[in-house]
Amino acid sequence: MSLEGKVALVTGAGNGIGEAIAVALAEAGATVACADINRAAAVATAAKAGGFQVPSMAIEADCGDVAQINRMVEQCVARYGKLDIIVNNAGVTRSAYIMDLTEQDWDRMHRVNAKGVFFCLQAAARQMIAQGHGGRIINIASIAGRGFKDTSNTVYAASKGAVISMTKHAAQQLGRYDINVNAICPGVTFTAIVDDLLETRASEQGITVDEMRARMARPIPIGRGNDPADIAAMAVFLAGPGARNITAQCYNVDGGLIPS
């Protein structure tokens, strides 16, 4: 599982799943560039990654802006000379009923969750093709994109469905360059974003946050939601030598909530 000698770029690395992935890649030996729209958060994650005695850097980037995406990849390559792995994790959402969603919600979520993932994927692939020795692209989708009914909202689900589709198509077209493209579809994962959703739903239903958390975990066959580390473990596997012949796949990490 060693990633020694590999250079990885993680978007949305400032907290939650992205932070866990960046740190886990560093623990596996990879050099890690931690990108986030919040520079201070990116710096904090880079410091944690550097604690594993590997080079790390922070990059401030808005992954809904194509110019900033391209600059992000350029900064990583300028510092470390190459790019072997990208984890497209940056994403946004909010808790909303279908009839309350607005055009602004659609534009905001698809700007980052769909457009952003595509252009991060494209920029990374362009660099990997130029290098000529393959690479790994890992997209963070969601079981929301597979129809999970209790997701934050319908627009978010649509954006994550787009990620699943892009993953499969990109893998078919980039395979000739030895670039593997896969996605991870997290289930209920307890991050700061999900905690905000829990608070909103608990308030709406007149129950405590702990009761809401237990209610969300109840339908999961294995009986618990994810920690961010559960998603990070899958990312490390997909980035590593054991996954060299795995591509065009979208893996649920959800305790059996949505059988695939």
- Least Cα distance to 38 among 58, 24, 67, 16 occurs for 58
This prediction has a pTM of 0.94
**Which CATH number does the domain housing residue 234 bear?**
3.40.50.720
Which residues participate in catalysis according to the annotation?
A: 156
Q: For residues 172 and 179, is the Cβ–Cβ distance under 8 A?
A: no
- Which residues, in sequence order, are bridge partners of residue 180? 136
**Domain contains 251:** no
* 79-103 confidence digits (pLDDT tens): 999 999 999 999 999 989 999 999 9
Per-residue pLDDT, 147: 95
Half-sphere exposure of 83 (CA within 13 A, CB side): 29
- Which residues, in sequence order, are bridge partners of residue 143? none
Same domain, yes or no: 137 and 127: yes
Q: Name residues of the chain where pLDDT drops below 50.
A: none
Same domain, yes or no: 11 and 62: yes
Same domain, yes or no: 16 and 45: yes
**Domain contains 185:** yes
Same domain, yes or no: 149 and 198: no
Distance CA 148, CA 239 (A): 26
Task: Give how many domains the chain has, as a whole number.
Answer: 2
**Separation of CA 150 from chain center:** 20
Per-residue pLDDT, 40: 98
Per-residue pLDDT, 251: 98
Same domain, yes or no: 154 and 44: yes
Per-residue pLDDT, 18: 98
Same domain, yes or no: 78 and 134: yes
Which residues form the domain of 15? 7-189+229-246
Per-residue pLDDT, 197: 77
* 175-223 confidence digits (pLDDT tens): 999 999 999 999 999 887 777 778 888 898 999 988 888 888 889 999 9
Radius of gyration of the chain (CA): 17
Same domain, yes or no: 152 and 212: no
